[in-house]
């Protein structure tokens, strides 16, 4: 890093960091503790870049499919106090996430290093901090890679929907058959050799973006995010003007093989998805509000990720991170509350709930209309077919965001890998920073390779071929033994659990365990209080939405397949990743001890700047 780009941090912290490597070199007989004395990164990310980095990280399929995610949790979507409960949950989770924003802004101001909460946890939590920090970031890395597979499928689904929209407008057989693109069948599910080839093309475009110098990468992300947000604004305006429940109900059977709004509404009602919601807990193991909040966190995840690249944010790090995180959070709340709430209700809420439930597999009769999720651009084309060019344009922005999320996640994961390599949790070569890219190129490449591996498991029944098909069961023979979108979504939610929980622990402990690091942190007196409130929220959510369903499934005497839930929801794969992480940490610990590395002293210091 260039000297002129170094952040303004308290002088005592700088002095201790400069003294530490010299002292450790003397104690180690001429051997330094860290693998290198500089990370190799350069601070060339502006506040605006960080804001749009966060924005691109959370939107994904939200522009078109914001309402569909409301049904993912499998709890009723109802109107309470003039808004849907999904909107109220967005406001609740958003308010809680403001606390998370202050935690990250406070800690990054005194620990401005790429790697985010891995650096915080490994330095703040006594004794087991390095292990918890490793497991937190290891699981988050795989949650992010699973999300790459999820968003690849959504990107290709978006292209299919673009074809269906053009088909509605032109009646072209080629576009009307868009569901057969990228798949071996005609259901729209991305699978088989065509799905794999299409997925590899998407990964190739991702590689084209991420293998750019850091400054150019952030310019690309910023410009494309601005274009996408403009498309979102147009979608909101056109939806308000042109969406009409009567026109939609009249036209739907024409394009959906006779499926009607009445059938979708009745099926959603029969599945218990249109009434009976309570904001309070139903039992010690059931609280529908927290199920819905977990899906909302899935929607929000990424709004805070500029903290993981804080080693590259220039200027006032505290202000930059706080603006970027709060700005992205405000957009996340709006895009998951009033925006889908108003547009879905203009089309008929129960009918939209039924369509979403058909996509997630909660209902099977009627079948999924048009073989696609009810993205707003598609239902807009059904409502007003004559405006198909408009829906095609806003649909392009909707398709862009799932793609744009993926380069951001690759960069974010690579920065965690860089922090691991500096702490000798992984080989040094993984975090080697390219002089041309000013980024850890090997870590970027490794992340892309893992994304390809997940693509293989989602397009081919590899698990079934090796006798582990029970880990990915599916009633559809074409999808049995393959990773699916529902399992990927829940895998991401569960595997990212520590990344939501540990910031509260760090905020609670930092003032008492690492006063030397955080004495100059902003809001330090309030940080333990903020940490307690956030920790209570995160633990409550993961008890009701994560652990209790597992417990209920295993202990239910009437459940003929108690392990089935674990396999269908991705829980089993989370267990596999946890075991792998523990093994790797143990191996590296033994290797470091044999090499005579003083890991206890290393975790008393911040990684090199």
- What is residue 35's predicted lDDT score, i.e. its pLDDT? 56
Name which of 25-29, 485-489, 497-501 the model is least confident about.
25-29
What is the distance between the alpha carbons of residues 545 and 501, in angstroms, rounded to a whole number? Answer: 14
| Lowest pLDDT segment from 112-121, 459-468, 570-579, 584-593 | 459-468
pLDDT tens-digit series, residues 213-253: 999 999 999 999 999 999 999 999 999 999 999 999 999 99
Residue whose entry in the numeric block shows the structure tokens 């990964």: 203
Position with higher pLDDT, 160 vs 316: 160
Q: Buried b vs exposed e over 547-565: b needs ≥16 C-beta within 10 Å? A: ebbbeebeeeeeeeeeeeb
Stretch 575-597: mean pLDDT: 93
Q: State the chain's mean pLDDT as an integer.
A: 88
Hey, what are 536's tokens?
Answer: 């209570």
- Residue ranges in 428-496 assigned as alpha helix (H): 441-459, 462-465, 485-495
Q: How confident is the model at residue 130 (pLDDT cuts 50, 70, 90)?
A: very high
According to DSSP H, which parts of 211-244 are helical?
214-242
Fold of 3-495+551-602: Amino acid/polyamine transporter I (1.20.1740)
| Residue-level pLDDT at 355 | 97
Looking at the predicted structure, is the pLDDT value of residue 18 above 70? Answer: no
pLDDT class for 144, splitting at 50, 70, 90? very high
pLDDT of residue 187: 61
Residue 165 CA to residue 182 CA, distance in Å, equals 17
| Contacts of residue 433, Cβ cutoff 8 Å, sequence gap at least 6 | 39, 40, 41, 418, 439, 440, 441
Residue 34 has pLDDT above 70, yes or no: no
The pLDDT of 438-455, averaged and rounded, is 95
Per-residue pLDDT, 37:
61
> What pLDDT sits at residue 186?
61
Confidence of residue 100 (pLDDT cuts 50, 70, 90): very high
Tell me, what's the pLDDT at 554? 82
| Greatest mean pLDDT among 186-200, 255-269, 277-291 | 255-269
Note the pLDDT of residue 558.
79
DSSP state of 468: -
> Residue 461 has what pLDDT?
83
Lowest mean pLDDT among 140-154, 156-170, 459-473: 459-473
- pLDDT value, residue 29: 40
Which position has the higher pLDDT, 387 or 36? 387
Residues in the chain: 609
Q: Mark out the alpha helices in 514-570 (DSSP H runs).
A: 515-518, 527-542, 548-555, 564-568
Average pLDDT over residues 512-537: 94
* Statement: residue 13 has pLDDT above 60: no
Domain locations along the chain: 3-495+551-602
pLDDT in tens, 152-171: 999 999 999 999 999 999 99
Q: Report residue 8's pLDDT band, with 50, 70 and 90 as the boundaries.
A: very low
**Section 82-87 average pLDDT:** 96
CA angle 158, 161, 166 (to 5 degrees): 130
pLDDT band at 26 (very low <50, low <70, confident <90, very high): very low
């Amino acid at each position: 890093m260039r000297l002129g780009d170094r952040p303004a941090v308290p002088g005592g912290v700088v002095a201790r960091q400069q003294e530490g490597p010299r002292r450790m070199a003397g104690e180690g007989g001429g051997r330094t503790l860290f693998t290198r004395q500089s990370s190799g990164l350069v601070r060339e990310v502006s506040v605006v870049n960080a804001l749009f980095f966060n924005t691109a990280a959370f939107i994904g399929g939200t522009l078109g499919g914001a309402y569909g995610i409301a049904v993912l949790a499998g709890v009723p979507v109802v109107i309470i106090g003039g808004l849907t409960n999904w909107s109220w949950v967005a406001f609740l989770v958003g308010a809680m996430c403001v606390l998370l924003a202050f935690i990250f802004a406070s800690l990054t101001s005194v620990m401005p290093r790429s790697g985010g909460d891995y650096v915080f946890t490994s330095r703040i939590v006594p004794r087991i901090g390095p292990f918890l920090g490793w497991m937190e970031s290891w699981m988050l890395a795989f949650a992010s890679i699973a999300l790459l597979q999820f968003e690849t499928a959504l990107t290709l689904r978006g292209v299919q929907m673009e074809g269906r929209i053009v088909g509605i407008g032109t009646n072209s057989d080629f576009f009307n058959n868009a569901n057969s693109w990228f798949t071996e069948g005609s259901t729209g599910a991305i699978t088989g050799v065509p799905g794999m080839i299409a997925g590899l093309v998407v990964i190739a475009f991702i590689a084209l973006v991420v293998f750019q110098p850091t400054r150019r990468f952030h310019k690309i992300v910023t410009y494309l995010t601005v274009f996408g947000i403009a498309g979102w604004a147009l979608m909101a305006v056109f939806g308000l003007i042109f969406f009409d429940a009567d026109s939609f109900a009249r036209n739907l059977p024409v394009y959906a093989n006779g499926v009607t709004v009445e059938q979708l509404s009745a099926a959603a009602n029969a599945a218990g998805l249109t009434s009976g919601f309570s904001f309070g807990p139903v039992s010690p193991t059931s609280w529908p509000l927290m199920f819905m909040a977990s899906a909302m966190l899935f929607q929000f995840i990424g709004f805070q990720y500029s903290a993981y690249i804080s080693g590259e944010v220039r200027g006032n790090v505290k202000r930059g991170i706080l603006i970027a995180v709060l700005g992205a959070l405000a957009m996340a709340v709006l895009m998951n509350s009033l925006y889908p709430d108003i547009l879905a209700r203009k089309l008929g809420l129960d009918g939209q709930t039924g369509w979403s439930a058909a996509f997630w597999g909660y209902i099977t009769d009627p079948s999924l209309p048009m073989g696609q999720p009810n993205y707003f651009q598609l239902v807009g084309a059904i409502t007003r077919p004559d405006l198909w060019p408009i829906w095609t344009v806003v649909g392009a922005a909707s398709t862009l965001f799932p793609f744009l999320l993926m380069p951001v996640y690759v960069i974010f994961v690579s920065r965690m890998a860089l922090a691991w390599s500096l702490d000798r949790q992984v080989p040094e070569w993984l975090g080697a920073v390219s002089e041309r890219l000013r980024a850890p190129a090997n870590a970027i490449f490794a992340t892309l390779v893992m994304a390809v591996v997940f693509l293989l498991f989602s397009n081919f029944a590899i698990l079934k071929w090796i006798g582990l098909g029970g880990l990915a069961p599916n009633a559809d023979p074409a999808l049995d033994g393959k990773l699916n979108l529902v399992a990927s979504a829940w895998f991401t939610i569960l595997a990212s659990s520590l990344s939501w929980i540990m910031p509260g622990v760090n905020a609670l402990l930092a003032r008492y365990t690492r006063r030397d690091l955080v004495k100059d942190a902003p809001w330090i007196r309030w940080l333990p209080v903020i940490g307690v409130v956030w920790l209570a929220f995160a633990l409550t959510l993961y008890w009701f939405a994560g652990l209790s369903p597992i417990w209920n499934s295993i202990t239910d005497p009437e459940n003929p397949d108690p392990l089935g839930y674990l396999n269908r929801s991705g829980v089993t794969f989370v267990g596999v990743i946890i075991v792998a992480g523990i093994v790797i940490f143990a191996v590296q610990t033994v290797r470091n001890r044999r090499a005579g590395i003083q890991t206890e002293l290393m975790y008393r210091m911040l990684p090199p700047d």
